[in-house]
Each structure stands twice: as structure tokens, then as C-alpha cells.
Amino acid sequence: MPIITLPDKSTKSFDHPVTGLEIAQAIGPRLAQAALGCKVNGELRDLSTLIEADASVAIITDKTRDKQPDKDGLFLIRHTAAHIMAEAIQDVLGKDVLLAYGPPTDTGFFYDMLIPAGKSLSTDHFDAINQRMAQIIAENRPMTRYEVPAADGLAKLRSEGNKYKVDNAERALGLPSSVYTGAKQNDVAPANPGAALTFYATGQPGKHWEDLCRGPHVPGTGRVGAARVMSLASSYWHGDENSDRLTRVYGTAFASQAELDAHLHQLQEAKARDHRVIGKHLRLFHIDEDVGQGLILWTPNGSIIRQELMDFIGGELRKQGYQQVFTPHIGRLDLYKTSGHFPYYKESQFAPVVEREALERLSREGCSCAELTHRLEAVSTRLQRGLNERTGKNIIPDERVMPDDLLVDGFMLRPMNCPHHAKIFKSAPHSYRDLPVRLAEFGTVYRWEQSGELNGMTRVRGFTQDDAHLFCTPEQVPAEIQGCLSLVKVIFATLGMKEYRVRVGLRDPDGKKYTGTKENWDKAEQACIDAAATLGVTFSQEPGEAAFYGPKIDFVVKDVIGREWQLGTVQVDYNMAIRFDLSYIGPDNQPHRPVAIHRAPFGSFERFVGVLIEHFAGAFPAWLSPQQVRVLPISEKSNDYAARVAGVLRGAGLRVGIDAGDDRIQAKVKVAAEEKVPYMLIVGPRDAESGTVSVRARGIEKDLGAMSLEAFVEALRREVAERRCELTVRP
């Protein structure tokens, strides 16, 4: 006699076990009609689930109360849609397509499958698949769940010859994976005799298509309003690149065709905001294959944006007591052996640069490539002893040590700026009275990203960080973290960026890989959490996400397509000072280890500007715009006056262009609007006579009227100096 508690805390009693559907019916017929599934004690279940004991139950539909798409409802719809797509693909390509794994995702769903040799799936099949999916949805077959005892289910799957499903079942039953890891076939765990496997038929079991599946699903295929296959990709079984390569088919589904259409429309809109498209159109940057993949050439327009950002950030840093430094883009290998970057991160670094004479000598000696690598990665006895003594651990094992005359020296394109900054700190003695020492550099670093990971400006191989290293006492750590975050807050606020979140990376509770004392870690972690809490944006604490050398704070923003990009980071580091043997003299007249804080709150100018382009859709505030004003003479007769106006603006330090072509004014306005110039000054004989300019501001599709040139200059100078987000100058 279950008592059901509904989300509004009201209860309903039943004298028999009930299904979710019956509960919905008891609430109202329209809810029963709209119901897709239910949540029993917080767990998403089929509508047909029988509830025998008291429980709190929520009925899931495709919309929440405020008419927004319901996340759980979409999950159910997309989970079922994955089955429908798999059935459609098997109908189109054949039953010998082996299905592996097909879950819902944030924006849809995918299904991984093995396309048998000799067959292939391409976008040419999409029309056929979409049509077949529409048919299955129109047929509105019930989603029928049935359970089979584990042993029977396994036998059934094995006889069907799909090793991926057998593997899924074994994992679900907690058995060792006989297929994936090659463990012995072990029918049913003795400890779990009642275990069962569940299957879902898209219709009648035995008659219609079916799949091993945990569920839950919507009650019938008709409840998937609209589904569509989207794209193809490849994936690996279990994400393991040594395992089978599968074809991943992406699709998406919504409760109605209108919502699917809206989603497709939004994808198109997002494409129009893509920083690569806008960047090309507005000539902000260029990537040239002759220069290299992932290497950004900042063209004049983009360079203005970058320079303005550097000036802005640089000014804020000076206010906070940072000191500017400049260091080269390369350094000797020993430096990176000391820091620990080489060779441990060699997969993500450019290969070392070896001096020509050394290479020629090695070549004469017949040195092999493997031998060269070995000799580059080895260290001298002196370096080994120094590092091992300082860290108190055997971090350089004897195998890596080589006599000096065999070692090969070289340079590395720097993957990080910290070694150079550590060396600057070490170049002079420091008293505790000097701390914190804050060394800032817009430092360019180089990392070897896999070619498939590269993406416009947001994922590149050479980039300039807004980097700084703060060397301080353990007591100063909280205040310094606060300082970093207040900087982030100022800059995000200035740019009108509200859509960001913060991740605080903490120790794994039982991890042993960490360096530094427990007391320092506790304090630093608390400082990070406290600082994040003051930001006033959502932040998450993520145990296990700390670096081995200290806790960190990451800033993540979402781009228009919903992809998240990590921008900056603040990391506390107890390790660097040890490795580089940094010290300051304390009040006790004894040397002490400083704590280092790495911080690059915006990550890199490349990624940050890429995100900014999408954030503003190319319509930058006046202070960032490559061209702030464009003067448009009505006809050639006004060209002289236009040139005088432009001269005055330029003299006032504003970035001005002039469109003196023989186009009509309509054409000049259109071009300036497409290039997203903040202000157009339209000047004709009337203006020349009165010394005025006719103002048109971006985003307002009309003539705002005339004002004196002096008043315009003053107003725009103020807007730029205050770095306002909006265009505020008006006659």
C-alpha cells in the first residue's frame, strides 16, 4: 500500500503497487498524456516501472513548469532516439553493423558501432536514415522492457555474436570483461545469482528490433518528437586508442519538430559568430600553412585589439605592484630538466633544437636517433645530485645520468615561462621584506598540440600568456590569490563577460603524489576556496584536480556553440622553489623557501581574443575596435572636409578611417556596418559649413543627428578612456 510523495510534497496513497503512468493518471489525464518517464526517489525510470513501496515520485514530461525543455525529459527522448537511429542504420546498412554503445549527451546522443569491412557509412546515407527514423517515430511502437536471467541473457548475446554487447553485459553484471581484457569467460558471478539483464524492444520482443539496454526510455517511439542524424566521427572502444576503432554517429532529438528546427537554426547562428569566420572577414588574424599549423599571425586589426588588452591588463598589474620582465622564447635543456618539463612532457613539446656543430659531430659518429634522444634526455651527475638533494627524493634515477662528454646539449622552445622567472628571482638576494615579488611577462610559449586538436585561435601551438609568477611567504598566499581573482573580476566586468565559471582543483583525499606539507596545503586550499567564493560566480570544488605541486583555480568560459574553454588559471606551487633552490632571508636571518604562484588569468591572448570575438560577435566596444570611427563623405565634394575631420580625430588619438571612394553614401554605410565600425560620421556640405558631423552608431540603424566635431571627439575620448562596453556618444 504505497504512499507516493509528489514534488509539491502532497501525497497520494494507493492500495496496490502502481506504475508511474497510474500515478500520472491519478494526478490528471493531461499529465498522463504528456508523461515520458518518472523519477523515483531521484532515479530516472520508465513510466511503466512498478512502485511497490512508499516513494517520492516526480512525473517527467518534455517541459518544466516554466515551459523550458526538461533535462530529464530530453534525456529520455534522446536515449530512445539513439535506439531508433541504430535500428534505422541497421535497416539501411544491414544487420551486420555491430552496435557498441549509444548514450544521450548534452546536445543529443551518439551511437558507436563497427561498420563491417566492405561497407561504409557516409553522409550520403543521412537522408535514408532520417527518413527511416521518421517512419519508426510515426509508427509509434511501444518501448517494451523485459528482463532475462543473467546467464540466459549472456548466452543470448554471445549467440548473436556482438562482442561489444557481451562486454557491456559483463561489465553491468560486475564480471571480468572476457572480450575486452581477455579474462576467462565466467558465466554469472556466484555472489549475484539473482542478477538479470534488461533488453528493450522497439515494439514487440521477438518481432521488432531490440537492444541490450539499461534504460530508461520514453513509453513509445512516437514520443520522440523529432530526431535527426547529425554527423560522423570516429572513436575507440572504451576510448582506448589501442582498441577497436568504431564509427560514432551523432544525432539529436527534441520533443517537437519546432524545437529541433530551432536547435538547427541556433547552430547556424553560432556558425556566424565563429571567431574563425569573423576573424577572416574583419581581418583580425591569419593562419598560413607555410608558417605552420596552429601558429597565429596577428594582422594589424587583431594586433590593435591585443595591444589594447595588453595595455589594459598591464595597467591593472602596475596598480597591484607587479614588475614587468622580458625573457627569451628558448632556454637550454638543463633548465627544463631542472624544472621537470623535459623530458616528462616531451609529447606536448616541440622537439629540442640541437646546435649544428654538435649534430654534425654526432652524425659523423653514426649516432642513431634513439641514441640521440637518450643523450639529450640524460643529465649530468651534478644536476642529479643537486635536484635529488633539494627535493629529498630520487627524482633523477641513476639510469638517466651520463658522463658530461656524452651528454648532448640543446635548446627548447619554452613550454612555460616559469623557469625563466625563477632564474630572475634567483639572480638577486631577497629579504622577507621584499616579498611578494611579482614578475609579470606577456610570455610566448610553444606546445605541441595534436593536429586534430588545433582550432582557430582557441587551440594553437604558439601563444602568449598574460603570465606572472608571485614569489611569497606561505602566510602571504591567501592575499596573493585574492589579488589574482580581483584582477580577473575587474577585467571580466569591463568586458561584460558574465558567462564564466570557476573550478577549484583540490587534492585527492588519498593521493600520495603531492609535494609540500599538509599544513601548507590545507591553508592554500582554503585560501583558494575562500577567494573563489568572493567572486560571486558559480564555482565547483574538484578533489583530485590539483596539480601535484599545489591547488589551483581555473576559469572556464562557454563559447557560442556551447563548447567550454579553459581560459586562465591560478596555481599555488610548493615545488618550483625547491627545484630551483630559491630562497629568501627571513626575520630569523635564516634562508626560507618561498611559495610560487603561477597565474595567467586569461590564459593566452590567442584564446582570449578568440573567445572575445565570439562574445562580441565581432562588434567590439569602441576602446577595442581596430577602427573606432569612419568618416563618410557624401560625395567627393566633401572629401576635403572629411579629411580635416579625420585629421582632428587622429590628432585626438582616435583610430579613424575615411571612405573617400565614389560609392554612394548608402553603399558606404552598408560597408561600414558590415565591418562593425562603432561610429560613422557622415559629412556633406551642410556639415562642412557648420563644422558638425552627422553621427550614426553601430546597432542603431538610423541617423542620430549632427553634433559639433569637438563635442564628438570629447565624448568618444571619454568613452574610450573609460573602456565602456556600450556605444554612448550621442548628438
CB closer to RNA, 318 vs 637: 637
**Of residues 394-413, which lie at the interface with RNA (CB under 7 A)?**
none
Smallest distance from RNA to CB 501, Å: 16
Q: Are 457 and 275 in contact (CB under 8 A)?
A: yes
Shortest Cβ distance from residue 350 to RNA (Å)? 14
Please give the residues from 183 up to 202 whose contact with RNA meets the rule CB under 7 A: 197-198
Q: Which is nearer to RNA, 1 or 183 (CB)?
A: 183
Neighbours of 20 (CB within 10 A): 28
Which residue in the set 2, 20, 102, 419 belongs to the binding site for RNA (CB under 7 A)? 102
CB nearer RNA, residue 213 or residue 567: 213
- The answer to the question of residue 52 lying near RNA (CB under 7 A) is no
> Which residues in 601-655 belong to E strands, given as ranges?
629-633
Kindly identify the residues of this chain, within the stretch 437-496, that bind RNA according to CB under 7 A: 450-456
36: amino acid identity, one letter: L
Window 227-286: residues binding RNA (CB under 7 A): 231-239, 241, 245, 247-248, 250, 274, 276, 280-281
Among 683, 713, 720, 727, binds RNA (CB under 7 A): 683
Three-point CA angle 357, 358, 360, nearest 5°: 65
HSE (side-chain half, CA atoms, 13 Å) at 117: 1
Task: Mark 109-128 with x for binding to RNA (rule: CB under 7 A) and - for no binding.
Answer: -x-x-------x-xx-----
**Which entry of 83, 125, 132, 447 is annotated as an active-site residue?**
447
600-629 binders of RNA (CB under 7 A):
none
Q: Long-range CB contacts (< 8 A, 24+ apart) of 87-93?
A: 87/132, 87/136, 87/202, 87/209, 88/129, 88/130, 88/132, 88/133, 88/136, 88/229, 89/113, 89/121, 89/125, 89/129, 89/249, 90/209, 91/132, 92/125, 92/128, 92/129, 92/132, 93/119, 93/121, 93/125
Cβ–Cβ < 8 Å for 34, 206: no
Q: Is 418 a catalytic site residue?
A: yes
Is 213 catalytic? The answer is no
Which of 58, 87, 101, 252 touches RNA (CB under 7 A)? 101
Of 160 and 636, the one with the shorter C-beta distance to RNA is 636
Angle at which helices 518-534 and 477-494 cross, to 10°? 30
**CA dist., res. 130 & res. 228, Å (int):** 6
Instruction: Clarify whether 469 is annotated catalytic.
Output: yes
Binding to RNA in span 326-385, by CB under 7 A: none
Over the window 563 to 582, marking each residue x when it contacts RNA by CB under 7 A and - when it does not, the resulting string is: x-------------------
Q: Of 217, 598, 630, 698, which one is the catalytic site residue?
A: 598
Q: How far apart are CA 674 and CA 618, in angstroms?
A: 10
| Nearest residue to 105 (alpha-carbon basis) of 563, 452, 560, 456 | 563
Catalytic, 598? Answer yes
Residue 721 lies near RNA (rule: CB under 7 A): no
Nearest CB to RNA, comparing residues 225 and 279: 279
Among 496, 544, 685, 691, interactor with RNA by CB under 7 A = 685
User: Would you call 127 a catalytic residue per the annotation?
Assistant: no
The contacts of residue 259 (CB under 8 Å, 6+ apart) are 69, 225, 226
Q: Is 465 a catalytic residue?
A: yes
In the complex with RNA, the residue whose CB is nearer, 28 or 705, is 705
Q: Residue 684 contacts by C-beta under 8 Å, 6 or more apart in sequence?
A: 633, 634, 635, 638, 694
Beta bridge partners of residue 441, listed in sequence order: 467
Least CB distance to RNA at residue 463 (A) = 15
Q: Is the CB of residue 267 less than 8 Å from the CB of residue 123?
A: no
Instruction: Rank residues 591 and 685 by Cβ distance to RNA and give the closer one.
Output: 685
Catalytic residues: 418, 447, 465, 467, 469, 552, 598
